């Protein structure tokens, strides 16, 4: 992956490193087992203090994104991957179910009866997006409704244990919410992890930004503004050419008529109150592969 660092900015260097690695993992640009540059290598390449790089790497390890392997340095933490083909995945889950049933000492007749009830249940006919952040749900719902013909509903983590939430639904979530959502869902329910776009790869074709231009960044989602600030400043854009606007606050349009372009999320881009004169750049959180990922369910 490509890294950017802005030495003279209000965003600490170690935080620039942490943010870029996390976003690369969530978007699939970095995969389990991938090796990160050594502290010495990264410090030398970007003229950073080794302690700064070490602080970033310690934070990534603390948050569970990386691990130290003897002889391999710092790598993206590996996760157990499911079999790849549909047949293998079916066999994997069926075998795991019956194995668990035997280990728990459940009566075989009761297990078979329950399986028959599941098979008799109606087939799924819609998706349900589960996320703890209602503002983020609005963005992803906007994008999901543009990539699938199925209906897409939303739910909070607290609603996962309600039968009506999951009836006829296939749950979806973003990668960073997978652990929380799995814990909230009933055991055995399939969960689809949505592929997230790599901001690093997406941003590269837009750089460098010509001098003398102001860029507005607008969103209802605070994390969008924070991540955009970190990435853009790390990529070398001076803080003084960036105007950040929280669209939840009164007067958020102030100053946007002077910018050359507005960077925003998909939900904000559809607001009639968003100034239409500057060039509008919409950053989609979902990767292009999301359409194919969800289309397979329509073919069942």
Q: Quick one: pLDDT at residue 91?
A: 67
Topology (CATH) of 124-194+294-300: Rossmann fold (3.40.50)
Report whether pLDDT(42) > 60. Answer: yes
Tokens for 71?
């002889």
Domain boundaries, the chain: 13-76, 86-121, 124-194+294-300, 199-282
Nearest residue to 155 (alpha-carbon basis) of 163, 147, 224: 163
Q: Quick one: pLDDT at residue 80?
A: 47
Q: What CATH number labels 13-76? A: 1.10.10.10
Q: How would DSSP label each residue in 81-150?
A: PPPSSHHHHHHHHHHHHHHHHHHTT--HHHHHHHHHHHHHSPPP-EEEEE-S-HHHHHHHHHHHTTT-SS
Q: Where are the alpha helices (DSSP H) in the chain?
A: 13-27, 39-46, 50-62, 86-103, 108-120, 134-144, 163-166, 178-184, 199-203, 222-234, 266-269, 290-298
pLDDT tens-digit readout, 61-112: 998 899 988 777 899 987 645 456 777 667 666 767 777 787 788 888 888 8
Q: Quick one: pLDDT at residue 176?
A: 92
Fold: same for 13-76 and 124-194+294-300: no
Report whether pLDDT(154) > 90. Answer: yes
Report whether pLDDT(144) > 60. Answer: yes
């Amino acid at each position: 992956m490509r890294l950017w660092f802005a030495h003279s900015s209000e965003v600490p260097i170690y935080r620039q490193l942490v943010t870029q690695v996390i976003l690369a993992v969530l978007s699939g640009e970095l995969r389990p087992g991938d090796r990160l540059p050594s502290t010495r290598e990264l410090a030398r390449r970007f003229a950073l203090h080794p302690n700064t790089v070490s602080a970033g790497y310690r934070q990534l390890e603390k948050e569970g994104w990386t691990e130290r392997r003897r002889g391999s340095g710092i790598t993206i933490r590996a996760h157990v991957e499911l079999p790849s083909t549909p047949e293998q995945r079916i066999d994997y889950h069926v075998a795991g179910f019956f194995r668990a049933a035997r280990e728990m000492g459940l009566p075989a007749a009761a297990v078979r009866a329950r399986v028959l009830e599941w098979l008799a249940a109606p087939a799924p006919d819609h998706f349900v997006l589960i996320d703890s952040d209602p503002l983020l749900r609005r963005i992803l719902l906007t994008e999901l409704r543009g990539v699938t013909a199925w209906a897409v509903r939303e739910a909070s983590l607290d609603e996962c244990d309600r039968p009506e939430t999951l009836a006829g639904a296939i749950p979806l979530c973003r990668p960073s919410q997978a652990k929380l959502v799995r814990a909230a869902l009933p055991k055995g329910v399939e969960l689809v992890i949505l592929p997230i776009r790599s901001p690093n790869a997406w941003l590269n074709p837009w750089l460098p930004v010509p001098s003398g231009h102001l860029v507005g960044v607008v969103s209802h989602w605070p994390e969008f503004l924070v991540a955009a600030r970190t990435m853009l400043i790390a990529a070398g854009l001076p803080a003084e050419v960036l105007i950040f606007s929280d669209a939840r606050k009164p007067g958020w349009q102030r100053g946007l008529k002077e910018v050359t372009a507005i960077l925003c999320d998909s939900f904000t881009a559809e607001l009639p109150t968003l100034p239409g004169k500057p060039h509008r750049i919409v950053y989609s959180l979902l990767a292009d592969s999301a359409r194919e990922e969800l289309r397979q369910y329509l073919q069942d």
